[in-house]
Amino acid sequence: MAHYRLFVALVGAACLSVFAAEVPVASVHRLNGKIQLDGVLSEPVWRSNPYLDGFRQVEPRTGAPATHPTHVWLAYNEDALYIGVRCFDSEPSKIVATEMSRDARLFSNDNVEIVLDTHHDRRNAYYFATNPAGVLVDGRITENRFPNLEWDGIWNVRARIDDQGWTAEFEIPFKTLSFKPGLSAWGFNVGRLVARTREMTRWASPSRDTRLFQVERAGIIEGLEGITQGIGLDIRPYGLTGFSRHIEHPDGSWLARDAGVDLFYRITANLLATTTFNTDFAETEADVRQVNLTRFPLFFPERRSFFLEDAGTFEFGLTGTFMGPGTGGLMGGGGGGRGRRQVDVLPFFSRRIGLVRGEEVPIRFGQKLTGKVGRFDVGLMAIRTGRYKSAVSDLDLEPQTLSVGRVKANFWRQSYVGAIFTDGDPTGQTTSRLGGADFKLATSNFLNTGKNFSLTLFGSKVYASGVSGRNTAYGGEIAYPNDFFMADARWLTIGENYKPALGFVPRNGVRIASSTVALGPRPDFWNIRQMTFGVRVTDYHNLAHRATETRRIQVTPIQWRFHSGEVLNYSWIPTLERLFEPFKIRSDISIPMGKYWLNTHRFMFFSSQSRPWAVRLEAETGSFYTGTRHMVSVDLTWRKNRHLHTELELEQNWVELNSLGRFSARVISYGLNYAFTPLISLANLVQYDTDSRNLGWQSRLRWILKPGNEFYIVLNQGWQRDDFERFVSDQTHLRVKLNYVFRF
């Protein structure tokens, strides 16, 4: 116990360290006239007032002056914040601007990113970004984590390329933001990427150990006086029409007509109440299909806008590890080129609401309250689902009320203690509640070294009808995520009866321990920007059988990132799998109980995404239970220009289990996207997988009449492969939807 107290005291002292580096400060100038938002910095406020400069490189030469200077002006009136950016470039013809669709990923384009910490709490912020084509990208930052880019605020930007480089003008209405009343100083940071050289520069905290979304290390802007949010009311009605057809529906086809409304009211400048009536998600993008060769369910992320807004408020405990493209293999991998998130326990997972066994259950009413009350972050949500009787399955559900509450008490700069509560079962089969508490100590200046460090602890318990004992989950994580040396250790215990009805838990009755150690030197040869060497060990101990169920060791001797944007990776992954019961990997193939060693070699290569043609290659080979498995994943992308973007992705698995049998598993997808302007885009996604034998096509036209007012035409078409190897049309859904907003 004495050692535990000493440990906590040392961690607390480390987290209270005061960073000695100078924090840049800038002034925001009051507007006397109007700004014409056109991307041309011709107004007097841009020409006569001082600008921010002094951008320093984060990569490749940390701390060195930017090769291409950047100037930033800040201005405001009582209604909006305006930001003007001049990105100088000596070779404007080589500027990369191939993305134009709303919320496009800009890591392969020249871009400017902006962070606004409107509460100046150094932990939460708004994120805005654009490229020389004027794309709108935004998100919410929670607890200094990567932005949730699914949040769509009402704002605007214009950009253009000229003979000096490129410029951008941002207009961010104060009605879009939550902020602390009377606070004239906000946290602020700006980052810029020059795509062809991968030069990353930043106004504040140009350190490789600091990401732009780490608000703790942002600079400060001052002078915001007399700003207003109006009465703080947004009314967003929608209207919808269309038709549906399903081969198993008794009526064959039926018309769709619906309407609803969302109300957003700022009770205070910091506290937002959201009310939804008859919620509809017709415009939601289709899930990306995956191959599953494991015994456990796959994780599919939330994509519905109502649940994604302020989603960070409800995050609890350990949020999972992202696996897939761009992680370089050390922290992830598996399953081809499709990025995915490895989740061991999510006490609350919003996707459980309104989706049961893959079918959409109507949401008749929802109420959400999110924001800040003093030093507390609060989130409350209650959802009422409607009566649902499926026409194509035996699913028959009564109306349900589902709720979740989350509160965090913030202390020091990046630390908190919090609690969560959930109530309800979407199926109505049980009475299910969950309660839990979590605690986090974090700092971006561990022991005054400017390094990141965090300690997270959590515990939760499920209260369900007919369940007693073994119904808890608890654990923690220590993380030291820095550029040259990174390490983490995670431990979890998940009871056999820990099954939260509003959560996601792929494995029950296990004790999990994992740790990672990696070095990332930056040699000055072979055009290599960074080389990473590391080891990750993960052990799943089955509590009922008192033996290891899975033990995975991932050794990564080669993970190279090149200055030109390529990534090369090799990992060796020996894995122990112990089956306590037969594993039915296919309907006609069952793997017997026993102990198996799976020995996998993984190779990956990603070319630079800044070129017109880009490729991602991944291959795995090795032993697999009683036989072998070979996998190849190819992702080929062509960006003709900022308008046309097409992508073909194939993942093929060949599994040979000797006397048990053999099979192949395949997922193929093709995307064709065309952006007419930054506000009008057409996205098409065609997918086929051999597990479901279903061919699906989604075509989605999105027309942003103006930010906040959106028109959609969405077609979802499915074809099922029959016993004669023919594709038969089995369902069609066409929706035309208009969202409109009235702001007061």
Give percent above pLDDT 90 in the chain. 79
The residues facing 272 across adjacent strands are 266, 370
Percent of the chain exceeding pLDDT 70 equals 94
Is the separation of the CB atoms in 163 and 174 below 8 Å? no
pLDDT score of 320 more than 80:
no
Distance of CA 191 to the CA centre of its chain: 20
Q: Which two three-digit tokens encode residue 230? A: 């109006």
Task: State the CB neighbour count (10 A cutoff) for residue 231.
Answer: 10
Q: What is the pLDDT of residues 143-179, one digit of tens each?
A: 998 898 888 999 999 999 999 999 999 999 999 999 9
Indicate if the pLDDT at residue 668 is higher than 80. Answer: yes
- CB-based contact 404:473 (threshold 8 Å): no
Q: What secondary structure letter does DSSP report for 8? A: H
Model confidence band, residue 328 (pLDDT cutoffs 50, 70, 90) = very low
Q: What Rg value do the Cα atoms of the chain yield, rounded?
A: 26
Q: Tell me whether domains 2-222 and 290-691 share a fold.
A: no
DSSP symbol at 154: S
End-to-end CA distance of the chain: 57
Whether the CB-CB separation of 97 and 125 falls below 8 Å is answered with: no
Q: Per residue in 548-598, pLDDT tens?
A: 999 999 999 999 999 999 999 999 999 999 999 999 999 899 999 999 999
Segment 598-650, tens digit of pLDDT = 999 999 999 999 999 999 999 999 999 999 999 999 999 999 999 999 999 99
Q: Which CATH architecture has domain 2-222?
A: Sandwich (2.60)
CB 365 within 8 A of CB 384: yes
Task: Provide the token pair at 276.
Answer: 């939804």
Give yes or no for residue 496 having a pLDDT over 70.
yes
Question: What is the fold of 290-691?
Answer: Maltoporin; Chain A (2.40.170)
Across the range 330-341, mean pLDDT stands at 44
Q: Which amino acid, residue 88?
A: F
Tokens of 496: 């056999």
Would you put residue 378 in left (φ > 0), alpha (ψ -120 to 50) or beta?
beta
Query: What is the H or E stretch that residue 515 is in?
Result: strand 510-519
Averaged pLDDT score across all residues of the chain: 91
Q: pLDDT tens, 409-457?
A: 999 989 999 999 999 999 988 899 999 999 999 999 999 998 999 999 9
Q: Quick one: DSSP state of residue 565? A: S
Domain boundaries, given as residue ranges, for the chain: 2-222, 290-691
